[in-house]
Amino acid sequence: MAEVTVLAATGNQMVAEAFRQAAPDVVSAYPITPQTAIVENYAKYVADGRVHTEFVPVESEHSALSSCIGASAAGARVATATSSQGLALMYEELHIASGMRLPIVMANANRAISAPINIHGDHSDVMGARDSGWIILFAETAQEAYDNSLIAFRVAEHPQVQLPVLTTLDGFITTHAMERCELLDDTTVADYVGQRQPCHPLLNGPAVGHGMFASLGGTYFEVKKAQRQAIDGAAGPIAAVGKRWAEVCGRSFESIDAFMCEDADYVMVVLGSAAGNARVVARELRAQGIKAGVARVRLYRPFPAEQLVETLKNAKAIAILDRSDSFGAQYGPVGLDTRTALYQCKRHIPTHNYIYGLGGADVTLQALHQVFTELRALAQGNLDQGLSYLGTR
């Protein structure tokens, strides 16, 4: 039976605790606001002898992920953490980690990307990694940052998956806010995460090479196809591993966290910490007899298109909220994903895409009320199906 400790903790503290309990062989990381406390806490666990991890304090994020790749290829369980410009500096290694099918777990404190320089929370950094072949999870709360981080190890190292996982939490809003959290005992967590069973380690096995030269189409093309099949096929293992954690901790795991969507006329699609605000507004509207719902995407890659459409199918109008923009595209990233999913499943429900909260701009309940009001206009054909910036001057 799991032993639970209730504590006041920040998202960063909870990710560090999850990493400590998963006990990676190697953590290689470089500090950056607002992720620093994860690395700092982990370094302290190492210094205090609470974990037997090889902690590598590198000189940049490029080196952080490079050394993680080496250690993971060798057969080690590996974790790291970054944010914003740090994640951007890892760009080439992101693709190497996924192309070599290395089950690295990386926490990202979601933060704006320069310029102009800004240290606050949005999803611009992680959306730069969305096509890199990593599995991506978004946490709403500090508690969920802990849950997702533990699930991440099981998913990454699952024999049918073997892919790196980004477990993300919103900068400051989730990384730095102290909330009521539950920590499970070390033994229960160790039993859940188990040990990594590497497929083709560089150490302790027959001589192999990883990521070797694959010239002119051919093998390269086939490896990429296998990567596509692997991430598409990860949905099943993710659901199974998530469900198993839900049984252990008593908190549900759904790739789409649906709130009052079954009979909702107006639904908001949202990622991360803003979902709680959206639910508060939806509940206020329900009290006034307006059927509002919220669909939060917890698993972002592989994108749970069918589950999302199943959640949205009865809506008369949908607001898709994006905390980043895809400049020059028709919509923001979640807007593109959601509209593609609706089209793919032949559901022609009007949508409007809202870009909100960039650079940590506060997501006020008033602004979310405005979105639901506009959805009524959208359902009646009195609002275009375009894109708006929410709450800007």
Partner 1 sequence: MAELTEIRWHARAGQGAVTASKLLAETALLKGNYIQSMPEYGPERTGAPLRAYSRISSEPIEVHNNIINPDIVVVLDETLLSIVDVLEGISSQGILVINSADSPDTVRATIGAAPGIKVAAVDASGIALDTIKRDIPNTPVVGALAYISDIVSVDDLKQNLINTFGKKFSQQLIDANLESVDRAVKEVQVA
Peptide bond into 34 cis (omega under 30): yes
280 near partner 1 (CB under 8 A): yes
CA–CA separation, 40 and 282 (whole Å): 38
Q: Indicate the residue among 240 and 367 with the shorter CB distance to partner 1.
A: 367
Least gap, CB of 365 to partner 1 (angstroms): 7
Q: Indicate the residue among 230 and 264 with the shorter CB distance to partner 1.
A: 264
- For residue 14, list its beta bridge partners: none
Least gap, CB of 192 to partner 1 (angstroms): 24
- Identify the residue among 117, 178, 203, 377 touching partner 1 (CB under 8 A): 178
At 267, phi and psi to the nearest 5? Answer: -125, 140
Q: Indicate the residue among 7 and 56 with the shorter CB distance to partner 1.
A: 7
277 near partner 1 (CB under 8 A): yes
Least gap, CB of 38 to partner 1 (angstroms): 16
The CA radius of gyration of the chain, in Å to the nearest whole number, is 21
- Identify the residue among 12, 67, 174, 338 touching partner 1 (CB under 8 A): 174
Which among 298, 356, 376 is positioned nearest to 122, based on CA atoms?
356
Cβ–Cβ < 8 Å for 128, 88: yes
Size of the residue set binding partner 1 (CB under 8 A)? 24
Which single residue is written with the structure tokens 């001589």? 207
Q: Taken in order 10, 12, 15, 19, is the CA torsion positive or negative?
A: negative
Q: Indicate the residue among 28 and 174 with the shorter CB distance to partner 1.
A: 174
173 near partner 1 (CB under 8 A): yes
Binding positions for partner 1, 11-40, rule CB under 8 A: 34
Which among 86, 135, 79 is positioned nearest to 107, based on CA atoms?
79
364 near partner 1 (CB under 8 A): yes
Which single residue is written with the structure tokens 């150490």? 203
What b/e readout covers 185-214, taking b as 16+ CB neighbours within 10 angstroms?
Answer: eeebbeebbeebebeebbeeeeeeebeeee
Q: Indicate the residue among 180 and 243 with the shorter CB distance to partner 1.
A: 180
279 near partner 1 (CB under 8 A): yes
Q: Indicate the residue among 199 and 280 with the shorter CB distance to partner 1.
A: 280
Least gap, CB of 270 to partner 1 (angstroms): 12
Stretch that binds partner 1, among 93-101, 106-114, 196-204, 357-365 (CB under 8 A): 357-365
Q: List the x/- string, 115-154, binding to partner 1 by CB under 8 A.
A: ----xx----------------------------------
The SS3 of residue 169 is strand
Q: Indicate the residue among 64 and 363 with the shorter CB distance to partner 1.
A: 363
Cβ–Cβ < 8 Å for 317, 376: yes
Q: Hey, what amino acid is at 152?
A: A
Least gap, CB of 27 to partner 1 (angstroms): 25
Q: What six digits make up the tokens of 239?
A: 């659901």
CA–CA separation, 131 and 119 (whole Å): 23
* First and final C-alpha spacing in the chain: 53
Q: Indicate the residue among 100 and 278 with the shorter CB distance to partner 1.
A: 278
176 near partner 1 (CB under 8 A): yes
6 near partner 1 (CB under 8 A): yes
Q: Which helix (H) or strand (E) holds 7?
A: strand 4-9
Q: Indicate the residue among 178 and 203 with the shorter CB distance to partner 1.
A: 178
- Identify the residue among 43, 177, 231, 383 touching partner 1 (CB under 8 A): 177
Cβ–Cβ < 8 Å for 47, 211: no
363 near partner 1 (CB under 8 A): yes
Q: Indicate the residue among 364 and 385 with the shorter CB distance to partner 1.
A: 364
Which single residue is written with the structure tokens 């639901």? 372
Q: What six digits make up the tokens of 378?
A: 């959208």
Residues lying near partner 1 in the complex (CB under 8 A) are found at: 6-8, 34, 119-120, 172-174, 176-180, 273-274, 276-277, 279-280, 362-365
